[in-house]
Structures are given as structure tokens and as C-alpha cells.
Structure 1
Amino acid sequence: MNSEFTIAVHSLVFLAYLPDHMASSELIAQNVSTHPARIRKIMSCLRKNGFVKTKEGIGGGYILNHNPQEITLAQIYRTVSCGTFKPHWCTGESEQTCLISSNIQVVMDQIFNEAEVYFEKYLDQLTISSVLEKIKQCQRC
């Protein structure tokens, strides 16, 4: 899995925390602790998929385009990270002569694909709003 998913969720939760307010890529980057260019790349993907709206110029930035209770983490995962659950690897040179080497990649790909399906089902149960609530509960601890 790549970090774009975590950055996207963090950014959207931050926007949910600031309802009806625009947030610049610099402000989001400061909150996420990453470079504004990286935020702009991820937010561009989220904008193309309708999760955020943008406004250019002074006072511009990003704002949620949907109710945070309706945005699931599975939707975000599919938008920015789908297919990254499975590591990229290849078998060794003994692939032709070894039963294990000649079949392990196919079997492991199936395992990772099935795990990704289960992972997405779990993420379907979580929303941007529920993540924000969990964060607020942590603050009370």
C-alpha cells in the first residue's frame, strides 16, 4: 500500500474539521507534514473524482464537495491506491524447474487480491466523519 491513501484520508478529515472553509495546499501540507506539491497531486485526483471542489486565487483552496458522512474510506482507497495492496515482485531464476517457483506468484497474487477485497469491505464501513469522530475521542483520552 502507498502513502497516498493515508495522505488523502488525512486531508479530507482536515477539510471535514473545517466545514465551509477553504484550505490551501500549503495549509493542508502543514497539517499533514508533507510538501504542498504532493498535496496538490493527491487533491487533484480527489477533485477529478468529485470529493473536493477548488477555488483559485486569494482565499482559494480546497473544500469538501460531499457530506463527510457519505465519503467512505473504500471510495478514497479505490481513487488513490487501488491495486497497491499487492507488492510488486517476481520469482527467481529457478521458475522453470521448481513447482513452487513456477506457481508462487499466481497463488500470492490471488491471496493479495482476495485480501484487498476484504480490506475494501472493511473500509466501506468507515467514513471521513467516523475518522474525525475517532480523532475527537482520542483528544478526550
Structure 2
Amino acid sequence: MNSEFTIAVHSLVLLAYKPDHMATSDYIAHNVCTHPARVRKVMGCLRKAGYVAAKEGIGGGFILNCDPAQVTLAEIYRLTSIGSIKPGWCSGDEEADCMVAGNMAAVMDDIYQEAEQQMIRFLERFTVSDVLDRVRKMTGKAASGEAGCSPCGQDKES
């Protein structure tokens, strides 16, 4: 899994928390605790997939363009992170005389693919709304908009 998945889920949950408000990439970045350029990259991916809409210029930003109760974390994983379970390097050498070295990469590829499919099935169980509900339970806030969103622990809104 990569950080784009986390940034995407966090951003969608933030937008679901305030569904009628535009959020700038700077505001989202402060809330996610990352650089605005990383947020813009992820939000561009979410926009192309139709999960968010964007408005440029003064008063612009991103706004939710989907029903958070219908968007699964598996969808977001597929969009941002498919194939990321497999490391960039695998041990072994297909041309080696050793049975282990000659087959290790292929065997591990199969294992990584199976693990990813299991993770996708697990992530299918959760929607963006489910994540927002868990956040609310963690903070004891039952209704949307009861408190400001604190970027990186600060109690301010942009």
C-alpha cells in the first residue's frame, strides 16, 4: 500500500465531513499533514475518476462529487495503489540451477497477488462514510459540522 491511498481516503473523508464546502489543496494538505503538491496529484486522480469536482481560481477548490456511502475503500485502493503490495525487488534468479532461486520470484509474485486480492475483498467492506463514522466515534461527535477540522492538531479552519 502507498501513501496516495491514505491521502485519497483522508481527503474524501474530509470532504464528506463538510459536503457543501469547497476545500483548497492547501487546506486539505494541512489537514492530511502533507505537501499541497502531493494532495493536488491525488485529487487530480480522484477528479478524473469522478469522486471530486474542482473549481479553479478564487473561491475554488475541491468538493465531493459522489455519495460517500457508495464509495468503497477498495475502489480507492484500485485507483491509487493496485500492485503496491509487491516490492520493487524480488529475490532469486530464474536462470539459476537452484530450484529455490529459479522459482522464488514467480512464487512470491503469486503470493503478493493473492494477498492483494484478499486485501481488496477486505476493503470492499468499508465505505468513505464508514471511515467518517469511525472518526466521529473516536472523537465522540455524532453529527456533521459539530466542530472544526483541526489541521495537524490545530483547532483552525481555512
Q: If the length of structure 2 is used for normalisation, what is the TM-score?
A: 0.85
1:135 aligns with 2:135: yes
**Aligned partners of 1:13 and 1:119: how far apart in 2?**
20
C-alpha separation in 1, matches of 2:89 and 2:47: 32
Which ranges of structure 1 fall in alignment gaps of 5 or more residues? none
SS of the counterpart of 1:96?
Answer: coil
Return 72-81 or 87-96, whichever deviates more.
Answer: 87-96
Q: Partners in 1 of 2:2 and 2:36 — Cα distance?
A: 18
CA contact (8 A) 2:86 2:112 kept: yes
Counterparts in 2 of 1:94 and 1:46: CA distance versus 1, 3 Å: closer
User: 2:4 corresponds to which residue?
Assistant: 4
What is the distance in 1 between the residues matched to 2:78 and 2:105?
A: 23
Equivalent in the alignment of 2:97: 97
Structure 2 partner of 1:13 = 13
> Residues 93 and 125 (structure 1 numbering): CA distance in 2 closer, same or farther, change over 3 Å?
closer
Kindly provide the amino acid, as one letter, of the partner of residue 69 in structure 1: A
Aligned letter for 1:96? A
- What is the Cα deviation at residue 19 of structure 1? 1.0
Aligned to 1:30: 30
Cα 1:103–1:54 change in 2 (3 A) is: same
For 1:74 and 1:94, the matched residues in 2 are separated by 33
Q: How does 1:109-120 map to 2 (within 5 A)?
A: 109-120=109-120
Q: Give per-residue Cα distances to partners, 1:26-71, cap 9 Å, x unaligned.
A: 0000000000000000000110111100011111100111111011
Partner of residue 56, structure 1: 56
The answer as to 2:129 corresponding to 1:125 is no
More helix by share: 1
Percent identity, aligned pairs only, is: 56
The total of aligned residue pairs comes to: 141
Structure 2 match to 1:75: 75
What letter is aligned with 1:134? R
- The one-letter code sitting in structure 2 at the alignment partner of 1:132 is L
Contact 2:92/2:100 (CA < 8 Å) preserved in 1?
no
How far apart are the structure 2 equivalents of 1:68 and 1:121?
A: 18
How far is the alpha carbon of 1:102 from its aligned partner? 0.7
